[in-house]
């Protein structure tokens, strides 16, 4: 019984760990979803310096790869631009460039992320790293105040765009911070309008792509990038190594659980058969007296199934407690796990209950048949009157 309980816990833990890891990689949560989107560019070498554009054939090939779920281009600004403070209390000025990408690839959900021609306010998304660099390096060295994301979002600054002999000014405001793309992002509609009106260079293929991948830990992705001379943030593909470790851990846990489960179910089955066989005279007498074989089978099923049901329930509860503890401990390390068991784990628990019920049913029915088979048939010679005879029921 203890072996069965341990087997149930190991199996459910294996499933839950796999689900936890998959969820961490594909979570909708901003902090965790960075790994699902990879910004890709050419690896610059002496040979290809100055030629970092990505050809259409490569983009089409990348699109066809099994690990690619969606692909988006990062369109760079082809005009000069600067931003400067509107406030004399907090003066700054810098030349700047922008990029844009389809909204689906941006990890900031805000209703402010739109721009139409004629609007004077341009929303901007900046990399989270920029704010970190400012708060933890620049502000300290320049004796400037540190800024929270909420304060930054309140600051309205001036954006000036130059090109083709024109100069236009807009108000800019930061509407969000991206963990995914390390560029100053503006809405695609603004970028297309501004490039058309102010571009000083011709339209060319993009230098950077952003791909959405089903599994950033897929080793085929890493191999493909390496083969094509492409690179991405290696931090994001480190999951490939983690994935192998987790896979091995899950394999060991699941494998041990499965082997234990097989032995435990075998032992339980033998125990049931032994118990039923040892009660052979009583079962025969009950059938002789008019007990319904179906009711007797159901009674035995209920009797033997209840401990199995209890064990799986305890095992599921124990796994749920472990999951909650993991959630609580890892929360402090910014790893967000679900506090509750996944539907897959519960599905496996239900499957285990069905498996145990099926094993019980099989062993009880087999035992009942066996009990009847081993009785003397009394077909040869006259049976002793005190000896049990075969029951045709």
Partner 1 sequence: MLALQSVFPNALRDRLSHHQSEIWNKEVFFSTNSYTSLVAPSGTGKTTLIHFLYGLRNDYVGTITFNDKNIAQYDAEALSTIRSCELAIVFQDLRLFPQLTIRENINLKIALCKQPVRANIDAMADRLAITHILDKPAHICSYGEQQRAAIIRALVQPFSYLLLDEPFSHLDQENTQKAIHLIHQICAENKAGLIIADLDHNHYFPYNQQYSL
Q: Which residues bind partner 1 (CB under 8 A)?
A: 282, 285-294, 377-383, 385-386, 389-393
**Closest distance between partner 1 and the C-beta of residue 371, in Å?**
13
- Shortest distance in whole angstroms from residue 380 CB to partner 1: 7
Between 45 and 386, CB nearer to partner 1: 386
Report the distance separating Cα 210 and Cα 3, nearest Å.
49
- Min dist. Cβ of residue 393 to partner 1 (A): 4
Q: Which is nearer to partner 1, 84 or 388 (CB)?
A: 388
The CB-of-284 to partner 1 minimum distance in angstroms stands at 9
Cα–Cα distance, 189 to 204 (Å, whole number):
18
Whole-angstrom Cα distance, residue 257 to residue 15? Answer: 11
We find the least distance from the C-beta atom of residue 366 to partner 1, in angstroms, to be 16
Please give the Cα distance from 167 to 198 (Å, whole number): 8
242 CB neighbour count, 10 Å cutoff:
14
Instruction: Give me the least distance between CB of 359 and partner 1, in Å please.
Output: 23
* Pair 30, 179: CB distance under 8 Å: yes
- What is the closest distance, in whole angstroms, from the C-beta atom of residue 297 to partner 1 in the complex? 10
Comparison of 256 and 297: residue with beta carbon closer to partner 1? 297
Buried-state track 261-287, b at ≥16 Cβ within 10 A, e below 16: beebbeebbeebbeebeeebeebbebb
Which CA distances in Å does 194 have to 41, 134, 182, 197, 346? Answer: 24, 28, 21, 5, 53
Q: Which of residues 2 and 382 has its CB atom nearest to partner 1 in the complex? A: 382
- CB of 373 or CB of 377, closer to partner 1: 377
The helix (run of H) or strand (run of E) holding residue 282 is helix 280-288
Residue 219 or 293: the one with the smaller Cβ distance to partner 1 is: 293
The distance of closest approach from Cβ of residue 286 to partner 1 in the complex, given in angstroms and rounded to an integer, is: 8
Q: Which is nearer to partner 1, 76 or 301 (CB)?
A: 301
* Partners of 40 in the β-ladder: 209
Residue 256, judged by CB atoms within 10 A of its CB (0-12, 13-18, 19+), counts as middle
CA distance 119 to 196: 17
d(CA 372, CA 392): 8
Q: Are 171 and 157 in contact (CB under 8 A)?
A: yes
CA distance 228 to 62: 10
Instruction: Count, in order, helices (H) and strands (E) of the chain.
Output: 12, 10
Query: Judged by CB, which is closer to partner 1: 168, or 390?
Result: 390
Name which of 111 and 380 has its Cβ closer to partner 1.
380
Sheet holding 230-231: strands in order across?
99-100, 68-76, 208-213, 37-42, 230-231
Min dist CB 388 to partner 1, Å, is 9
């Amino acid at each position: 019984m203890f072996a069965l309980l341990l087997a149930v816990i190991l199996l459910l833990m294996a499933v839950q760990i796999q689900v936890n890891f998959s969820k961490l990689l594909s979570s909708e949560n901003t902090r965790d979803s960075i790994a699902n989107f990879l910004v890709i560019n050419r690896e610059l070498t002496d040979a290809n310096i100055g030629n970092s554009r990505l050809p259409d054939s490569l983009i089409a090939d990348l699109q066809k790869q099994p690990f690619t779920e969606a692909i988006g281009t990062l369109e760079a600004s082809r005009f000069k631009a600067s931003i400067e403070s509107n406030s004399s209390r907090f003066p700054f000025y810098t030349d700047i460039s922008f990029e844009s990408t389809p909204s689906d690839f941006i990890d900031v959900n805000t209703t402010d992320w739109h721009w139409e021609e004629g609007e004077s306010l341009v929303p901007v998304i900046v990399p989270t790293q920029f704010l970190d660099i400012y708060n933890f390096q620049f502000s300290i060295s320049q004796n400037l105040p540190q800024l929270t994301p909420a304060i930054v979002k309140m600051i309205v600054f001036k954006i000036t765009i130059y090109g083709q002999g024109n100069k236009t000014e807009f108000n800019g405001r930061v509407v969000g911070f991206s963990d995914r793309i390390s560029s100053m992002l503006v809405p695609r509609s603004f970028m297309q309008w501004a490039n058309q009106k102010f571009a000083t260079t011709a339209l060319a293929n993009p230098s950077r792509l952003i791909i959405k991948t089903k599994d950033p830990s897929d080793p085929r992705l890493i191999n493909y990038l390496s083969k094509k001379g492409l690179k991405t943030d290696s931090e994001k593909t480190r999951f490939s190594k983690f994935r192998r470790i987790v896979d091995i851990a899950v394999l060991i846990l699941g494998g041990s659980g499965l082997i234990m489960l097989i032995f435990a179910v075998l032992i339980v089955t033998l125990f049931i058969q032994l118990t039923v066989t040892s009660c052979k005279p009583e079962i025969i007498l009950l059938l002789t007296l008019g007990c319904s074989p179906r009711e007797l089978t159901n009674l035995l099923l209920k009797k033997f199934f209840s401990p199995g049901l209890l064990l799986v329930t305890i095992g599921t509860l124990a796994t749920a407690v472990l999951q909650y503890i993991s959630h609580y401990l890892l929360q402090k390390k910014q790893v967000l796990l679900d506090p509750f068991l996944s539907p897959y784990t519960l599905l496996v628990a239900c499957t285990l209950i069905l498996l145990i019920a099926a094993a019980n049913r099989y062993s009880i029915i087999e035992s009942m048949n066996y009990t009847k088979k081993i009785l003397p048939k009394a077909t040869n010679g006259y049976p002793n009157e005190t000896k049990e005879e075969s029951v045709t029921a």
